Amino acid sequence: MRGTRWLVLVAIAAILGGVGLTYRAQKKVLREQAPPQPAALPTELNSSAQHWHFTDTDLKTNRVIAEIDAEDFRQVKDSDRVDLKNVTISIPNKDDATNDVVKSAAAAFFSSDHHLYSEGKVEITLRVPKEGPPSRTLVSIQSSGVNFDSETYRAETTRPSTFIFQNGDGRSTGATYDPTTHELHMNNDVEVDWNPPGPNAKPIKIETQRLSYHEAASQIWLNPWGRLTRENTVVEGHDVTVYLQDDDAGHKIIRKIETTHAHGTDDYPNRKLAYSADYLLVDFDDDGAVRKITGSTAARLVSTSEASETTVTADRVEMDFESQNKESILSHVTCLGNGLVTSKPLPVPGRQLAETDVLRSENIEMKMRPAAAKSKPWSRIRPASWSFSPTGPRTTTAHSTATTSTSPTARKTASNGSTPATSPPAPIPPPKSASATARSPSPPAAICWRASIPRRAAWRPWSKPAISLTTKADAMPGPPRPRSIPVRT
């Protein structure tokens, strides 16, 4: 029994020794496999973390509002500020297929007023697909000094900003983007270079003080003024609305613009157009060329060619354009309400000035010559009045053989649109002086020819119909007397 007792003690000692050795070996292994001990927390920080992630969730709908990732997280001691590095903010859109992504090298989060601020460069990319690469160029905004509302994630800056989109790029001073409404506001000194996708398209430059892009409505608002320039065509007005349309390839096309107190010019070597109205509507084709301009209230159009200047005024003026050689050529003009057309010849070397023609009617239709922008037939819709006057000094002869009439009936019929009746011609007495003729110049406005055109008549400047005209020859020698003269021009 005594020998067995010693054996038990030896066995116990061996077991204890084996356990001790195993413990020390495992402890060494665990010490070698343990992660490195973090550095001591700086005294100015409350906490820090690497690869920090935060998910903002709507507690009512359990929908993710935003996800924030940062490579480095540091909370400042005795402050509500949290410093983040290499920050990425993902804001899901309502379709749950795309995100608005914000990236910045550094940002500071202030929990007291729920906002983030990034002093350095910030890039905002809209509608980034969650899966796969994007099928088109995404809208991207770059700026600095950006403030983010941590509740709505609305971004705002007052510094210079640039933005890129599928059809061009732009720049401004100050910008705001609201992901909940998908509205982008460029606040000051805005310039946009728009490149329409058509094969014959030409770039369009948009200038304004403030620009608002409403993605849901496919509209761009230019306030308080806006200017669109396409090569030689310029349209400018107040409170401009640009209407966009998606084509089959997913591009944005400028379909029309609407503006008030507007004016525009169209300047080409063979013609010059200038128009204005209190309300202006401009339609564009797929290539960005003007196809129709409608002006309402105090509408005015001035078409100038090498030989003449035509001025059109009416309550409403509609101008139709045709595309020729990648240019918009004025082809048709319609005046609705109080129409007035004045065609004034311009001096041309070696050619005598023609009369200044004036056409008045409630409604007027004009067809234009594409080459020289000179009017073709003017088709009336309502009874009109047409008059013309000499543009230079006129020479008169004392011995006139024109027929005269002082009949009130003749003057009455001439004013209501019918051909005036003429009384038998009466000879004009010879002058008292010995000379056979006397010549005296008269100013251009001294003689005015007037006529009334019957309903549905058409007037061609190069082929005027035979009309009996009633004239006032107040500037001619002798007492003034009305005369009815059959004229064919």
So what's the pLDDT on residue 179?
87
Q: How many other CB atoms are found less than 10 A from the CB of residue 270?
A: 12
Q: How many whole angstroms separate alpha carbon 21 and alpha carbon 121? A: 59
- CATH 2.60.450.10 in the chain: give the residue spans: 195-382
So what's the pLDDT on residue 323?
80
Kindly state the average pLDDT of the residues 82-107.
90
So what's the pLDDT on residue 464?
39
Instruction: Report residue 257's pLDDT band, with 50, 70 and 90 as the boundaries.
Output: very high
Checking DSSP bridges between strand 458-459 and strand 375-380, what pairing results, if any? antiparallel
Using the 8-state DSSP alphabet, how is residue 351 labeled?
Answer: B
Kindly state the average pLDDT of the residues 86-101.
89
**Side chain identity at residue 238, one-letter code:** H
pTM over 0.75: no
Q: Give Rg (Cα) of the chain.
A: 42
**Nearest one of 314, 265, 322, 336 to 292, comparing CA atoms:** 322
Q: Which tops the pLDDT comparison, 174 or 32?
A: 174
- Is residue 338 predicted with pLDDT exceeding 50? yes
* Angle at CA of residue 198, ends 194 and 200, nearest 5°: 100
| Helix, strand or coil, per DSSP, at residue 446 | helix
Stretch among 329-333, 396-400, 413-417 having the lowest mean pLDDT = 396-400
Q: How many whole angstroms separate alpha carbon 295 and alpha carbon 125? A: 39
For 347-398, how does the pLDDT look when each residue is reduced to its tens digit (9 = 90+)?
Answer: 878 777 778 888 888 898 888 765 544 444 445 445 556 555 555 554 333 3
**Nearest one of 336, 373, 343 to 459, comparing CA atoms:** 343
Using the 8-state DSSP alphabet, how is residue 370 labeled?
Answer: T
Stretch among 307-321, 362-376, 450-464 having the lowest mean pLDDT = 450-464
Class level of CATH domain 39-151: mainly beta
So what's the pLDDT on residue 410?
37
Kindly state the average pLDDT of the residues 120-149.
90
- Alpha helices of 314-466 — where are they, by DSSP H? 408-415
Give whole-number Cα distances, 160 to 163, 172, 295, in Å: 10, 6, 36
So what's the pLDDT on residue 351?
75
Q: How many other CB atoms are found less than 10 A from the CB of residue 188?
A: 15
Q: How many whole angstroms separate alpha carbon 277 and alpha carbon 291? A: 18
Instruction: Report residue 34's pLDDT band, with 50, 70 and 90 as the boundaries.
Output: confident
Instruction: Report residue 32's pLDDT band, with 50, 70 and 90 as the boundaries.
Output: confident
Instruction: Report residue 293's pLDDT band, with 50, 70 and 90 as the boundaries.
Output: very high
Q: Which CATH number fits domain 195-382: 2.60.450.10, 1.10.3720.10, 3.40.1010.10, 2.40.170.20?
A: 2.60.450.10
So what's the pLDDT on residue 355?
81
Q: Which tops the pLDDT comparison, 383 or 132?
A: 132
List, as one string, the DSSP characters of 249-295: TS-EEEEEEEEEEEEEEEEETTEEEEEEEEEEEEEE-TTS-EEEEEE
Mean of pLDDT over the chain:
76
Stretch among 70-84, 124-138, 443-457 having the lowest mean pLDDT = 443-457
Burial of 315-348, coded b for 16+ CB within 10 Å and e otherwise, reads bbbbbbbeeeeebbbbbebbbbeebbbbbbbeee
Q: How many other CB atoms are found less than 10 A from the CB of residue 27?
A: 10
